[in-house]
Amino acid sequence: MLAVEGKTVGEVPTRTQGKLTMVSIGTMGRLLNLSMTHKDDTLIVSQGRSKLQIVHKAAAVWLDVQLMPMAAPAILDNNQWWVESQSALNILQGLLQNSGSSSQLSWLGSSLDGCSSSRQGERGKTEMSSSSTSVPITSQQLQRGAQSQVEEVPSLSMIDLSPSTPCVLQAVRWGQYDEKMRVVFDYEGTVSPEILEKGNTVFVSFTTSEIATAQLVSPCPKEITVNVETTKDSCKISLESQMGGSQKTFALSAPPRLVVDFYRSSKKASSPVNEIPQAQDKPQKVIAEQLPLPPITGEKTGSLGKKLVVIDPGHGGKDPGAMANGLREKDLNLQFALCLAERIKKLGFNVRLTRENDVYLKLRERTDLANQWQADMFISVHANALPKGRHASGTEIYIMALPTDKDAMELALIENRELTGENGSESAAQVDQKTKMLLNILGNMQQNAKISESTDVAEYLFNAGKKQGLNMRRVAQAPFFVLRGASMPAVLIETGFLTEKSEAKRLASSSFQQQFADAIARGVAAYLKGR
């Protein structure tokens, strides 16, 4: 039963999801007299001026402009929204507090009373704390939470190895750090896979696998060797370490995943990488001198202490981007980027472009360059497009986060399909699956260290555009691969819609490009001068 200040207000339907108890968030909203709107794959719950956005299959929600984690992804099933029981209390409590209410929510007189908190306690610091209701958390707290999630975990002896429920391997992720290599197995099932450690080798067995054997190749075969045996009823993986150190294996839940850490015998210097998204993504060593680099005025660490802005003209080379009304997106992106770079330099900042001519860069190379140059801001420039029969106009600014709505998610899917050109063996469907995996990573709080700063940048640029009379459509969020991995505030600008004839003509106009660049540059300066 749902209670407010200890008094029951009504019964809430429940269902089980593995070991978790899910509750009807819609019923809770009605019992609390909250306003609710269901649009596509998003449920918006509001009270006064505060708004909660719940996205289907995302393990985090937006509360106004801040992100809150949940113990499991939200589920939309037959027009009914289901959220893990303790998480439901947390996010609705946060909404009430943001709207000025001090009422405390709790579960009383049912199996929900205390059941989720006990599970949360088992995870300790690896997931949300259930000792008290939560409020929106800051980006710094998100970063600390992500770190504790992968460091303070149950020991191997706590892992349930019972094979009573099928264990289906969904994805493999790799991470490289100074002192270790990390392998993360994402899987579905109510129990962990079978694990055996023998010498410097770890054996992991799944009931079956939904990924190709080729995707299990080690990105660093000189350090970790991978062997795979698959049959109709099993997928057995062995990981052999050549690193000379020990290894540690542990499980995490919500969503279920198995983590294997292989430690080096000595702390040799190696380039720390937050996370390599997929085993089939071969590690890329990006060398700045091999790419087209424009001149840069001064040095970031010089006496002038100038801030550095990296501008990324989207697409290029073999990838033309969107094409409509006689225009190619890659050409427009470069024109806008060059104008913007010139304007920002005139305002006293350093600028570098990821490309200054018609060359092809992989998505990851773009933010790799920004990180290598220690940029203070990353701006990726694009042009929008809609399918036949749909119309829209104006500039949109995106940050990499959970999607605002279905249109934002569709745009991310389209932009991310550039990945099909990076690996000929990958289809658009496989890339779309990568995008959905990225969405899940975002929900797990592992890519949000700069989300607050990126939101601020987007707002500064949006407001600057409005002041200069530009048609600024909206600030939104979606899982864009080109923004993933940026260690600085990062945004993606869709300058306008190529599929709108009148707007396409305007986008190709030199005078409009100058007006646009001037407005955005003013927003960049306003943000950086305040830092």
DSSP 58-105: -SEEEETTEEEE-SS--EEETTEEEEEHHHHHHHHHHHHHHTT----E
pLDDT tens across 383-420, in order? 988 888 888 899 999 887 654 456 555 655 665 555 44
pLDDT at 413: 60
State the amino acid at position 179 in one-letter form.
E
CATH of the domain at 93: 3.30.457.10
Which residues make beta-bridge pairs with 174? 183, 276
User: Once rounded to an integer, what is the mean pLDDT over residues 306-312?
Assistant: 94
* Number of continuous H segments (helices) and E segments (strands) in the chain: 11, 30
Which of these three, 247, 276, 305, is where a domain ends?
Answer: 276
Band of the pLDDT at 475, cuts 50, 70, 90?
confident
User: Once rounded to an integer, what is the mean pLDDT over residues 244-265?
Assistant: 84
- By the 8 A CB rule, do 432 and 476 touch? no
Q: Which helix (H) or strand (E) holds 122?
A: helix 115-123
| Mean residue pLDDT across the chain | 75
pLDDT at 108: 85
Residue with more model confidence, 461 or 269:
461
Instruction: Give start and end residues of each alpha helix (H) in 133-199.
Output: 139-151
User: Once rounded to an integer, what is the mean pLDDT over residues 50-55?
Assistant: 86
Q: What are phi and psi of 513, to 5 degrees?
A: -60, -40
Question: Which 3 state secondary structure label does DSSP give 306?
Answer: coil
pLDDT at 333: 95
Residues 264 and 296 in one domain: no
Which of these three, 254, 276, 298, is where a domain ends?
Answer: 276
In a domain, 218, yes or no: yes
Indicate left, alpha or beta for 129 from its phi (over 0: left) and psi (-120 to 50: alpha): beta
In a domain, 331, yes or no: yes
What is the 8-class DSSP label of residue 193?
P
pLDDT at 482: 62
d(CA 276, CA 29) in angstroms, rounded, equals 39
d(CA 57, CA 74) in angstroms, rounded, equals 5
Range of the domain at 270: 165-276
Is the C-alpha dihedral spanning 88, 89, 91, 92 positive or negative?
positive
CATH of the domain at 299: 3.40.630.40
In a domain, 142, yes or no: no
Residues 381 and 480 in one domain: yes
d(CA 462, CA 460) in angstroms, rounded, equals 6
- Tokens 């060398």 correspond to 287
CATH of the domain at 265: 2.60.40.3500
pLDDT at 221: 84
pLDDT above 50: residue 287:
no
In a domain, 348, yes or no: yes
Residues 100 and 179 in one domain: no
Residues 257 and 316 in one domain: no
CA 57 to chain centre: 13
Q: Among residues 329, 356, 328, 321, which one has the least CA distance to residue 340? A: 356
pLDDT tens across 54-108, in order? 888 777 777 875 667 777 788 888 888 999 999 899 899 999 988 888 889 999 8
Residues 294 and 272 in one domain: no
Instruction: Give start and end residues of each alpha helix (H) in 444-509.
Output: 451-467, 501-507
Residues 182 and 56 in one domain: no
The token pair at 341 is: 């770079």
Residues 422 and 488 in one domain: yes
Sorted by sequence, the CB contacts under 8 Å of residue 411 that are 6+ apart come out as: 384, 398, 478, 494
The token pair at 154 is: 């149950």
Sorted by sequence, the CB contacts under 8 Å of residue 261 that are 6+ apart come out as: 180, 181, 182, 247, 248, 249
Residues 58 and 122 in one domain: yes
pLDDT at 55: 80
Which of these three, 276, 302, 319, is where a domain ends?
Answer: 276
Residues 293 and 440 in one domain: yes
Residues 264 and 370 in one domain: no
In a domain, 145, yes or no: no
Residues 33 and 175 in one domain: no
Residue with more model confidence, 36 or 531:
36
If one counts the domains in the chain, the total is 3
Residues 193 and 214 in one domain: yes
